[in-house]
Amino acid sequence: MTLLASDPSNTIRYNGTGRVYAAAYGESGYVDLGELESLTFGVAVTTEKIRSTRDASRATILEVETERDATLTIGLREQTEENLKMALLGSAVAADNQAAGSVFQAEPALVADKYIDLGKVDVRSTKISGTITGTITVGDTVRGATSGATARVAYVGDDYIEVVEVSGTFQTSEEAYVYAGGGTTTTATIDPSTDMIVPTSIAEQEDVVVTSSDGATRRVNGTDYSLDPDYGLIRKLSAGDMAAGDVVSYDYEAKNINYIHGMSAGSVQRKILVVTDADDQGPRQRYTFWKVQINLNGEFPLLGEGAAILTMSGSVIKDTAQPTGQQYFKQESMS
């Protein structure tokens, strides 16, 4: 059926929603680019004017097209691995996952008033408050009599201990005894002596345990050092009391970490498929761009208000694998 200009309900598109898919050039199978901030298509035609040399008016006698460029500009809201890899001209996605673990009394190479990287993210420690009976010493392992949870003591304070290497979940009101010698964390005999703490509260801290080398003196967060626990950055404060040989203890969580090396790809080419939503007013449309050269375009806000938009532009280039006359893109309307 021919769509007549006298019937605008069939020819005017309204709302402008839809989906965009991308495939590596020469490969089958598309990935969904997700929510977009914007998608625009532009064509620029450059011409050269040939002027007369027969009279002073220099009239134009011929205008010749010299260049014709088509571009796609896409604002990506979703920072998926594929979107980041494509927009940032990145290498293949690689994994550098962090398994859960612990550090006990490591001696970092601290720099006065400057952050250093502990090499782990999401660093934490645990504070067990309660009544201490007998003697608990830094380096001891305590075990919950009821829960079976275990932990290694990094600092002993007044009516509390700070621990790392936590396994299991301690319970309030249970007796957390110091281990007797021998055995594993699941089979060691509980010391029937009075060396124990009875927890009244157990709190995970967004803090590491910084002490003197003998564990006797606890350094104070905010006075002696400052910490970014989410990214494992610690700074020695020169106005504080930290000294050479101070040690740091902490637990760290399991974290999936993937990375790419940006701007390392020599060429990023994609086949781009744009489909408009069937529920919009007006004709459904589908655009297939056979070969798009992706270029990083504009700024990518790392911090700031609102969504961080990955903006990229792509040059629609000639795909010689397509039949002659059909080598740039295809537009389809569906009624």
pLDDT tens, position by position, 275-316? 999 998 888 999 999 999 988 776 788 888 888 888 889 999
Q: By C-alpha distance, which of 239, 166, 242, 240 is closest to 211?
A: 242
Q: Three-state SS for 86?
A: helix
What does 122-168 look like in DSSP terms, one character per residue? SEEEEEEEEEEES---TT-EEEETTT--EEEEEEEETTEEEEEEEES
Query: What residues pair up with 248 in beta bridges, in sequence order?
Result: 106, 210
Which pair of tokens denotes residue 283?
């004709």
Question: pLDDT at position 302, please?
Answer: 86
Give the model's confidence band at 192: pLDDT under 50 very low, under 70 low, under 90 confident, else very high.
Answer: low
Q: The whole model's pTM is what? A: 0.80
Q: What's the pLDDT tens digit per position in 235-277?
A: 999 999 999 999 999 999 999 999 999 888 877 899 999 999 9
Per CATH, is 8-93+261-334 categorized as 2.40.30? yes
pLDDT > 90 in the chain, percent: 72
Transcribe 158-225 into DSSP letters: TTEEEEEEEES---TTS-EEEBPSSS-TTTPPBP-SS-EEEEEEEEEESS-EEE-TTS-SB--BTTTE
Tokens encoding 324: 């002659």
What pLDDT score was predicted for residue 296?
A: 73
What are the extents of the domains in the chain?
8-93+261-334, 101-252
Q: What is the pLDDT of residues 82-108, one digit of tens each?
A: 899 888 888 889 999 999 999 999 999
pLDDT tens-place string over residues 150-176: 999 999 999 999 999 999 999 999 999
In angstroms, the CA 133 to CA 127 distance is 17
Average pLDDT taken over every residue of the chain: 90
